[in-house]
Amino acid sequence: MSNTIFCEKLQKESEALEFAPYPGELGQRILQQVSKEAWQQWLAHQTMLINEYRLNMLEANARKFLEEEMVKFLFGEGSEKPQGYVPPSE
């Protein structure tokens, strides 16, 4: 039986993550307030940001940018898509 939490992002009861997906206090906050579904949405958005902005994850400023976007996406007003972004057609 899976645990449920009230997801801050989705504003509903949803299946909880099984472990903190990020280190430190932010990881604990995500574990306690973000559902599996919302985390999967973030991972897809994060991938799009990395690809569109051609981020090099070895650079500290790229990691800082993604962390800021993650906080906005999960707990704030949301993370914007890059200007001119066109989703791939399926």
Cα(80)–Cα(76) distance, rounded to whole angstroms?
11
Map out the domains of the chain with their CATH numbers: 4-17+24-75 (1.10.3880.10)
pLDDT for 90 = 65
38-49: per-residue pLDDT in tens? 999 999 999 999
Look-up of token digits 């940001």: 49
One-character DSSP codes across 36-86: HHHHHHHHHHHHHHHHHHT--TTSHHHHHHHHHHHHHHHHSS-PPPPTT--
Report the chain's mean pLDDT, rounded to a whole number: 92
pTM comes to 0.88
Other CB atoms within 10 A of residue 51 CB: 11
Cα(75)–Cα(85) distance, rounded to whole angstroms?
23
Q: Which two tokens stand for residue 30?
A: 């995500």
Weakly modelled stretches of the chain, pLDDT under 70? 1, 90
